[in-house]
Amino acid sequence: MNRIKAIAMYLPQFHEVPENNEWWGEGYTEWIAAKKAEKLFDGHYQPREPLNDNYYDLMDKSTMLWQAEIARKYLLDGFCFYHYYFKEGRKILEKPAENLLEWKDVNMPFCFCWANESWGRTWSKINYEINEWLIADEKDHKNPIMEDEILLDQKYGREAEWKKHIEYLLPFFQDKRYIRKNGAPVFLIYKPERIGCLPEMINLWKNVARKNGINDIYIIGLSILRKMNGIDAVLLNGPLMYFTPRSKGIEIDVRWTSSVRNYDYKSIWENALKAEPIKKCKTYYGVFTDYDDTPRRGKKGTFLNNVSLDIFEKYLYLLMKKNLKEDNEFLFINAFNEWGEGMCLEPDKKNKYGYLEILRNTKKKVNSKYNKNSTERSKNADVEENKFECEIEKQRDYILLLDKWMTLREQNRYLSDYLKKYDCKQIAVYGLGVLGRHLVSELLQEGIAVEYIIDQNESLVFPGIKVCGLGCDMEKVDAIIVTVIHEYKFGDILDNIRRYRIDCPVMSLEEIINELY
């Protein structure tokens, strides 16, 4: 089984482009939306500010060097750049990826997600606030920019346009840092169901790629509920995919706070856990940090309530395991730097490096369960995982039991008090582990006779007391005390004891301590 590779969605809109300056106002970048965010009600976490006021510019190489270092330090394996490619090959926000292609010394593994939808004037809050000066300057006549609702039209054309697109992508696919699956470059498509020519287009892409030394392209479609021709896998992209039970789950109640729509954070994670794989199609289960698009949409926006790092940590772990159980090597995270929609792994003033620290710690925890060199899941993987989790539970219970035991000692209360109450003067102890040795020592000090010790390992030694296995010649005693707690509760120890001795009480150490505590 491959270890999980965490890939964060990456928004490249942190530098100026002529189009945004024209549409939204001079100097527009994603930071404008973030800075203009309003606190719409008491407790609303807005505006969201980067730690140390790091309002970076992606045209600055030092920014990408810093992001690459953050990724390395917190075990983020790569970035999935949003790729904007429109009608007749028009591109926007392409410069960060193109610069990265040139900056070979920036160790930033990456892939693309084609955000294949038209750009319209739907960011109403930005529209009417940032462009207020346009309206004021043109009171006496209509503003053509404001009237045009479609800013960039998403059309696909035919073979000539498809070929032009794949030829643009080839240098990125050939870069050593580009993320691959079994040697094939990974390419995500945001809304594949909207591409009527998808099978033919992908077929042409793969033919062109093969002629250029790339044997295949691994295509992942986002948030589709059926297998599509040309698509190799599906990504259920959180949190939006989990708002309603499109694949499985519950209908999450819409709440309203000061007229702003919101959903419960934990409930969405629960739906993610219940999501089922798309039939006959490899399915990746995406995770998310948060969501709040009110910086872009104002009171028409949506946010998640009851967000906490504790919930993120718990469900990140569970979704990582869910992906690994289905042999998914990639974990897509929404997102690294979506400041305008509240989805940020990047450090902010409230959470500092909290999300990144949880990612690193959780990834270490999950990956440690799997063999680094294994390429396919063992048939016994689930059994081994259950054993591991049971061992953790067992150790936790032992610690809690020891705490109770020591508390009793501090109160001058002893296990012998319980045994004397039931006239148990001669006993046998089952299990000569840590708890068993402490029990025998305390009982001897309190004048309780330990006639013998039962253990599967008959070679163990305790001074002055016989150690034997079940079935040996065992003298009559008043009680047998079992010190192997979990095996007693969930195993067949009691049945085995009864098979050889049925004429005395059998007690567990846990039972005695809990009765006295």
We report the CATH number of the domain holding residue 253 as: 3.20.20.80
CA-wise closest residue to 161 among 261, 231, 88, 90? 88
User: Are 257 and 217 part of one and the same domain?
Assistant: yes
> What confidence score (pLDDT) does residue 247 get?
57
> What confidence score (pLDDT) does residue 143 get?
40
> What confidence score (pLDDT) does residue 109 get?
98
> What confidence score (pLDDT) does residue 461 get?
92
- Write the pLDDT tens digit of every residue in 121-174: 765 454 434 333 233 333 333 343 344 478 999 999 989 999 999 999 999 999
CA-wise closest residue to 13 among 29, 26, 35? 29
- Write the pLDDT tens digit of every residue in 203-228: 999 999 999 999 999 999 998 888 89
- Structure-block tokens of residue 262: 């919101």
> What confidence score (pLDDT) does residue 18 get?
96
For the chain, residues with pLDDT lower than 70 are: 1-2, 122-148, 244-250, 369-390, 393, 486, 489-491, 501-502
> What confidence score (pLDDT) does residue 372 get?
46
User: Are 415 and 362 part of one and the same domain?
Assistant: no
User: Are 77 and 185 part of one and the same domain?
Assistant: yes
User: Are 350 and 399 part of one and the same domain?
Assistant: no
User: Are 456 and 336 part of one and the same domain?
Assistant: no
Residue at a domain's end among 334, 357, 377: 377
CA-CA distance, 205 to 187, in Å (whole number)? 11
User: Are 494 and 417 part of one and the same domain?
Assistant: yes
Contact between 82 and 1 under an 8 Å Cβ cutoff? The reply is: no
Number of domains into which the chain is organized:
2
Residue 450 lies in domain = 386-516
User: Are 349 and 428 part of one and the same domain?
Assistant: no
Beta strand 343-344 with 337-338: parallel, antiparallel or unpaired?
Answer: antiparallel
User: Are 97 and 75 part of one and the same domain?
Assistant: yes
- Structure-block tokens of residue 195: 């591409």
Round the CA-based radius of gyration of the chain to a whole number and report it. 31
